[in-house]
Homo-oligomer: A and B are copies of this chain.
Amino acid sequence: MANELNKVLRCEALKDKIVTAEEAASWIEDGMSLGLSGFTLSGDAKAVPLALAERGKKEKLKVNVFTGASLGPNVDELMAEEDMINLRIPYQGNPAMRGKINSGESFYIDQHLSHTAEWVRQGVIGPIDYAIIEAAAITEDGQIIPTGSVGNSPIFVENAKHVIIELNVNVPAEYEGLHDIFIPAKQGERKEIPVYSVTDKIGTPGIKVDPEKVRGIVITEKGDIPSPIVPPDEETQEIANNLLDFFRDEIKKGRMDETLMPLQSGVGSVANAVLDGMRTSEFKDIEVYSEVLQDAIFDLIDDGVVKFASATSLTLSKKRLDSLQEDIGKYRDKLVFRPQEVSNHPEVIRRLGIISFNTALELDIYGNVNSTHVSGTRMMNGIGGSGDFARNARIAIFVTKSYAKGGDVSSIVPFCSHVDHTEHDVDVIVTEQGYADLRGLAPRQKAEALIEHCAHPDFKDELRDYFNRAKDQVGGQTPHILEEALSWHVNLAKNKTMHKEAPVQK
């Protein structure tokens, strides 16, 4: 049930620029830099990258790919498999792309998601040869209306030499009006980002583009790739319960009421379980100022628990994607999509007093968090917006199961094999065992709280043993025995377990 083309392509100056994806892809040359729409597989350019990947099968063609965040398979899978990506910024989540990154065949800059726009603006990266942007419509005055994400599209369009628009005629017309496009001026000439409340709209409904810069418009119909929703297991549910208990304790201490403060949540099963747990809780009139909206946020809006949600992107199940095709219009007064530079801006996050919760891969006994690197070396996905939020949030919470690999790996280790969030930026840790509020604690106190409340019982004795010996033998503000600090990871690589000796019974 595609939209009539004249209803979505309304800019006269652009009506004669329709080309095939193949033709548009033919303009791209080896060594160019591309700025692509897309964030968490939502609103990504699809047709031109696919045609480009086809070219990559036959010719040597390697480009730099800058995006909002993770893209669908046409870029991060197909183009990676054809070895077409020289440099990838700022986030990805695809096994093929990850493989190329970890083998050193592609360069990857794992960047805070609010920073890429500044680099483009300053000329640290780029110039961007082509911005390729998915659109729901092009307005009379040449504004590009984005689809399921805004991401970095505005800054790419502003700075690109040429723009290619993928006009997706299968996107509900009601997407128009859901976006709020605001581009900060250069540093030094910039005023405030005037978002004082989650609901404030400060920009235009679309991305303004000089029609002269638009080289081609490709008509598409293909939808976003849905995200699988992993139902919570028992431990994920426990993490969610513990996090909600932390909120309750903050309320008891008089630091907030049951409307909390605006929430940012990472993506995944824990976030889904937490948000799900709020459906039947005492929390109410919740505001969300986040990066990505999952199904659970829409459920909470439907239930009247969340009153407004601001983000830069969606990541949804097939079921919710399908239903939004029909009913996105009903969320008109409940939603806004902003550029990631604004959704993740330190100014707004600090001003609004966001409570952020994101997933940790591992953490150490002093509360330093690794979000990205398995055993210090192999990239998983990237830091994403977790640093943007944790660093400037009112309360920066990290969640993780206390163990992994069936009990052979402790998520709490003596020493992190990689640090993405330092102890200065980590406020609360939540596992299925409980939570540790690290605020107001010195490092030695943090270690005691983390071992006591968050570590898995099978690892508590070994963690305590390390900590006590480090205090006795070495001392200091953050006692460590450097000979042993990374021995848990070394042991894991050699013996498939972090335990010094195999537990008596598995």
Contact = CB atoms under 8 A, between A and B. Distances in A.
A391 interface: yes
A442 B108 contact: yes
A406 interface: no
Interface residues of A, number: 83
Interface in A454-493: 470-471, 474-480, 482-483, 485-486, 489-490, 493
Contact of A261 (B187, B479, B490): B187
B475 A103 contact: yes
Contact of A346 (B186, B191, B392): B392
B379 A477 contact: yes
Contact of A194 (B192, B352, B420): B192
Contacts of A272: none
A379 B476 contact: yes
Interface string A193-224: 01010000000000000000000000000000
Interface string A99-124: 00111100111111001001100111
A489 B478 contact: no
Contact of A480 (B377, B416, B471): B377
A405 interface: no
Interface string A423-446: 111000000000000011110110
Most buried by B among A383, A391, A422: A422
A299 B421 CA distance: 38
A415 B444 CA distance: 23
Nearest to A353: B187
Interface in A271-304: none
SS class, residues of chain A in contact with chain B: loop
Interface in A365-403: 368, 372-373, 375-379, 383, 387, 391-392, 394
A299 B367 CA distance: 43
A74 interface: no
A60 interface: no
A118 B187 CA distance: 26
Contacts of A480: 376-377, 417
Contact of A490 (B101, B383, B387, B482): B482
A254 interface: yes
Contacts of A444: 104, 107
Nearest to A197: B188
A422 B424 CA distance: 12
Given A347-B351, A352-B188, A483-B490, A102 B477 contact: yes
